[in-house]
A and B are shown apart, each in its own frame.
Chain A
C-alpha cells in the first residue's frame, strides 16, 4: 500500500545495523550461562529473535532478499534433531539421563553445597541442551516473521 514512496531514513538504517551486534551478543550470553544465572534456552532464543525483528521492521524490502528461508528451516530441524539425539545418548539408564554430571569428562565438575561463585564447566548435559533449544527458538520465531513479511506483498 505504501510501496511507491518507500525511502528509508539513513539514521534508522545505521542505528538498526549498529544495534544488532550487541543484542545478538547479549542473547548468546544469556544462553551460554543458563546453568548459573536466570535465563537459559528459551529466554536467549527470544532475545536473539528480537534482533532479526528489528532488522525486518527498520530496513524493509532490502532485508527480505538477504535472508533465505531454506537455511532457517534447515537450522531449526538440525537443532531439534540434536536435542532428541542428546536425550537418546543416556539410554543406558533412562530416556533423559544426565550422563555427564559429576563425571569429569566434558562438563562434569562437582559443585560444593551451599552458595558459591559459579563454576562454568559443571551441570553435565544441561549447557548442550540449552544451546540446541536456543538455536531452535531463534530460528522458529525468525521464520514466523519472515513468512508474515514476505507473504504480505
Chain B
C-alpha cells in the first residue's frame, strides 16, 4: 500500500515539474494591449501615480465592492458561530 501511494505521488510531482518547465519567460505575456492602454493613460484619466491602486479602485472598482461584501459576510458568519445559546 505504501509503495502505491509513493508511485502516485511521484507521477503527480513529475507532471507539476513538467508544467513548470513549459511556462513562458517571466514578464512577457501573450496579449498586452490592455496593459499598454492602462500604463499609458493612467496618469491622464485617473490622475494617480500608483497604477495598481488605479486599477483596483477606478478601472475595476466593482470587484472591490464584491470583496468588501465577502469580508462582511465572513464576519457575520463568525458571529453566527459564537452566539450565546
Contacts and interface: CB of A to CB of B under 8 A. Distances in A.
A132 to B, nearest CB: 9
B54 interface: yes
Contacts, number: 98
B62 A116 contact: no
Interface range on chain B (Cβ under 8 Å from partner): 20 to 34
B72 interface: yes
Contacts of B52: 38, 40
B32 interface: no
Interface residues of A, number: 41
A40 B57 CA distance: 10
Contacts of B71: 136-137, 140
Question: Interface of chain B, helix or strand or loop or mixed?
Answer: helix
Interface in A70-119: 76, 80, 83-84, 87, 95-96, 98, 101-102, 108-113, 116, 118
Contacts of B1: none
Question: Interface of chain A, helix or strand or loop or mixed?
Answer: loop
B68 A136 contact: yes
Interface of A: 34-38, 40, 76, 80, 83-84, 87, 95-96, 98, 101-102, 108-113, 116, 118, 122-126, 129-130, 133, 136-137, 140, 143-144, 147-148, 150-151
Interface of B: 43-50, 52-54, 56-58, 61-62, 64-65, 68, 71-72, 74-75, 78-79, 82
